[in-house]
């Protein structure tokens, strides 16, 4: 076993369904999920402290000043950020942490934590991506076009990730993500010899 | 999907239980397993063409001459080898191939096919390894000591492998191996852009 938890970053373009996939994974597995802070308005049914910490722009800027974010980004005019100290505390305790964040944020985390596990969620097709963004119903026609164009561009960032999972069927996407997490724990280059020391050399 | 099958090499020291694990995996999954050729005598219940192709030393040397092996090695005075042409044919057809081979053989395959997936099966402890080799009952006291000493040394080769799986409980070891195989298919650096081409860019 590794002494520290694994940082698992689940990311992908808007409309790929990373939120749905993460929710399904968390229902059956005991991961700790980081709640992001944002300056955008809550969507219908979103709860402060559960979906996001909804804070003002002033509060957000103060947190940036205090180096309180693992990463932060401005997306479509709103700020999003991952609180740093709580993520690091959970990882140090040995528990795995899942971050569900946008691509800009994920790439920043990758620069700071290259040993994280970076999983890119892909929509089954561009047509399906368009349908999903449209059906969400929370976008204006302008923001819809912005999101779709951006998603198209964002897909090219898949090459910066360790793994890519097509979210065609949610249950299969979840199985793949779970497999990736299990497999990563078996990777020899992640073990740093700890594995042998603890599990084999204890004669 | 990748156009070619994945070569999966399952290896490990004598007594780690790679045979048991492979058998359990194959019961539930549709992999193609290469049958090795050997010059050693069949153990009780071993069937020619199923467990091994049991051939004479002369036949084996002829096959070496004809470059008929993917790898071959001499272990405890006997030759073992993996028939080359049939493995390559199955991989070309897009089907995954499992090779269950000893460490010497696996390292030779790795040199020739670095893109193969190399999984090392570890015993839960050295004590358990000793018990397993002893309980097999097919060894003389001398070959038992040779095997145990060799297994001890062989464990250090884990660093040459991609993944290590402790065979404590067979069903959990199988789940881990299956997860590794699923995860590898999601690895971005194995996809060479095929993934996007086929599954995303088909608008």
pLDDT in tens, B89-111: 899 998 899 998 888 889 999 98
Question: Complex ipTM, two decimals?
Answer: 0.79
- pLDDT > 60? residue A176: yes
Chain A CB contacts of B126 below 8 Å: 200-201, 203
Is the pLDDT reported for residue B200 higher than 80? no
Q: How many Cβ contacts (< 8 angstroms) between chains A and B?
A: 104
Q: Do B155 and A180 touch (CB under 8 A)?
A: no
pLDDT tens string B65-78: 998 899 998 888 99
Cβ–Cβ gap B176/A183 under 8 Å: yes
Q: Which among B119, B125, B175 is the nearest to A203, CB-wise?
A: B125
**Residue A49 marked as a ligand binder:** no
Find the residue in A nearest to B123 (Cα).
A200
Confirm if B173 and B166 have CB atoms less than 8 A apart. yes
Q: Where are the domains of chain B?
A: 7-200
Confidence tier at A61 by pLDDT (50, 70, 90): very high
pLDDT over threshold 70, residue A200: no
Interface of B with A (CB under 8 A): 119-120, 122-127, 155, 158-159, 161-166, 175-176, 178-180, 182-184, 186-189, 191, 195-196, 199-203
Which tokens sit at A56?
Answer: 């003002």
Residue A123's nearest CA partner among A10, A12, A8, A23 is A12
Between CA A167 and CA A180 the distance in angstroms is 15
Q: State the Cα angle at B87 between B81 and B93, rounded to 5°.
A: 180
Answer whether A202 sits within 8 Å of B125, measured CB to CB: yes
- CATH entry, B7-200, from 3.40.50.300, 3.40.50.410, 2.130.10.10, 3.40.225.10: 3.40.50.300
Instruction: Check pLDDT > 70 for residue A84.
Output: yes
**Spatial distance between the Cα atoms of B26 and B24, rounded to a whole number of angstroms:** 5
| CB-nearest partner of B159 from A119, A188, A199 | A188
């Amino acid at each position: 076993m590794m002494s520290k938890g694994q940082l698992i970053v689940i990311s992908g373009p808007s409309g790929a369904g990373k939120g749905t996939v993460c929710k399904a994974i968390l229902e059956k597995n005991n991961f700790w999920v980081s709640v992001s802070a944002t300056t955008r308005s809550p969507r219908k049914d979103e709860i402060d402290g559960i979906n996001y910490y909804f804070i003002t722009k002033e509060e957000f800027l103060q947190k940036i000043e205090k180096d309180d974010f693992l990463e932060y980004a401005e997306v479509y005019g709103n700020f999003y950020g991952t609180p740093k100290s709580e993520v690091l505390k959970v990882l140090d305790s040995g528990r795995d942490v899942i971050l569900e964040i946008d691509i800009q944020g994920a790439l920043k985390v990758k620069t700071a934590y290259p040993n994280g596990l970076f999983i890119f969620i892909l929509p089954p097709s561009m047509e399906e991506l368009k349908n999903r963004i449209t059906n969400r119903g929370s976008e204006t026609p302008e923001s819809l076009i912005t999101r779709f164009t951006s998603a198209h561009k964002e897909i090219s960032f898949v090459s910066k990730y360790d793994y890519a999972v097509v979210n065609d069927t949610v249950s299969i996407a979840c199985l793949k993500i779970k497999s990736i997490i299990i497999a990563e724990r078996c990777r020899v280059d992640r073990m740093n010899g700890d594995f042998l020391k603890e599990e084999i050399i204890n004669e």
